[in-house]
Structure 1
Amino acid sequence: MKFFNCIFLLIVMISPFSLFGQSDKQSVIFPKLSSNDTIRVAGYVDDGMMIPYIGIPQVTYIGVRKWNSDAERVAFNRLKYNVLKVMPYALYAKRRYAQLEYELASISSNKERRQLVKQCDKEIKDLFNREIKDLSITQGKILTKLIDREVGKSTYQIVRETRGGVSAFVYQSIARVVGHNLKASYNAQEERDIESILLNSPYYTNGVQNY
């Protein structure tokens, strides 16, 4: 008896889906096929009509830039070189600052927080002594803008939050002497050349940033 009850229940459960599938299939109008229609393609239903379609890979079209002069072309290529040279440092700042924020959020001890900030500061100073100090003034200016682009905060804001207002003021004063501005922000509309260089660089694929 239990066996027949199970069979009956199974039939009751399956029947609505079977009926729905049959009625749905009958309500769809399929295109008429000819003898040459031998390739299976995907399809979708649009207002009761089965529409065949073939998916194609995304194609990125990049226009060829026309230069008004050789000097303009040389200036752009120089900008491209500088941007690609300092971008790794901006990405490093982004990752390191995110790591610092994450670690500080999980620690309540002021002493431990100061140790973390000190350790982060030491890593950045070591990087500066090894590589960043050799950047040109132009590359340094681009770097401060890219840090704002990647982190969402200017270099001045980062120093002020981690080291305090006095340190931020001192660093800004020193930076201004050598032609830098730690408060420099990034505007994608104003920096269209830099934005174009980045989006077409190895750091991005189809507009998505690679790390």
Structure 2
Amino acid sequence: MKFYRLIILLIVIITGFTAKAQETVVPVNNPVKMPKLGKNDTIRVAGTNVDGEMIPWIALKEVIIYGERIFKSPAEQAAYNRLRYNVLKVMPYALYAKRRYEQLEKDLAITTDKKEQKKLVKQCDLEIKQMFNKEIKELTITQGQILTKLVDRELGRTTYDIVKQTKGGFTAFLYQSVARVVGHNLKSTYSPTEDRDIESIIVSSGYYQ
């Protein structure tokens, strides 16, 4: 009796697999209908099979639509324009710092030699200082404050944390002390909500397109 039930179970399983296989078979006499090509149709595009008919399609770039901001007063618009100028002024420096420190982290990750790691950090520090001597020292206090925020935005770490990691806590403390004298704060963090005007300027600037 048990053997009989086993035979019945095997027949049911085999029948189920056969039915499933028949459902997935595409009839040979029902080929996919391809679109007719014109004399100028020379560009290959992607296609999707829709009920046996190939429909060509082309992926389009994302289009971002921004609402036009309405200012309460000419003074408010002037303040926003100054902010936009300052953000676009320092944004290249923040992006440079991001690329340079990301490269430093990659270089440090592939070597365990302490002497070589120290050399890599020193080289990175030298390049940042050279940029500082040529460009960043000419920034205004406001531009410097925005830059420290953007560094945190791009790297996910404050300028203070970066200096502490690469140069040590004492050096970071000294840098912070000097920065505070001239109105900077290396521990400044970035918040897309609190700094929504800056975020709006960056998103519409074209840097990430």
Q: TM-score, normalised by structure 2?
A: 0.74
- Name which of 83, 86, 94 aligns with 1:82: 86
- Pairwise CA distance, 1:59: 3.6
Residues 1:125 and 2:140 aligned together: no
Q: Which residue of 1 aligns with 2:161?
A: 157
- The structure 1 residue matched to 2:74, chosen from 70, 75, 78, is 70
Alignment: residue pair count: 174
Per the TM alignment, residue 20 of structure 1 is displaced from its structure 2 partner at its CA by 2.5
Partner of 1:171: 175
Tell me, in whole angstroms, the C-alpha distance in 2 between the residues paired with 1:53 and 1:75: 49
Shift of 1:54: 7.8
**Aligned counterparts, 1:71-150, within 5 A:** 71-150=75-154
Q: Which moved more, 1:181-190 or 1:53-62?
A: 53-62
- Seen in structure 2, the aligned counterparts of structure 1 residues 177 and 54 have a Cα distance that, compared at 3 Å, is same
Q: Which amino acid aligns with 1:64?
A: E
Percentage identity across paired residues of the two chains: 56
Listed one character per residue, the Cα deviations across residues 44-103 of structure 1 (whole Å, up to 9, x for unaligned) are 76xx8x9x8987844432111111000110011100000001000000100110111111
Instruction: Indicate whether 1:204 and 2:208 are aligned.
Output: yes
Q: What is the letter of the counterpart of residue 22 of structure 1?
A: P
Q: Secondary structure in 2 aligned to 1:67?
A: coil
SS at the partner of 1:112?
helix
CA gap of 1:162–1:73, structure 2 versus 1, over 3 A, is same
Where does structure 1 differ by over 3 angstroms across 4 or more consecutive aligned residues?
Answer: 16-19, 42-45, 52-59
Q: Secondary structure at the match of 1:97?
A: helix
Range 57-66 or range 181-190, more displaced? 57-66
Classify the secondary structure of the residue corresponding to 2:26: helix
* 2:38 is equivalent to residue 21 of structure 1: no
* Unpaired stretches in structure 2, ≥5 consecutive residues: 1-20, 31-46
CA distance in 2, matches of 1:80, 1:73: 10
CA distance in 1, matches of 2:129, 2:63: 43
Name the counterpart of 1:33. none
One-letter code aligned to 2:85:
Y
TM-aligned CA distance change 1:62 to 1:174, over 3 Å: same
Amino acid across the alignment from 1:155? T
CA 1:22–1:120: 2 relative to 1, 3 Å:
same
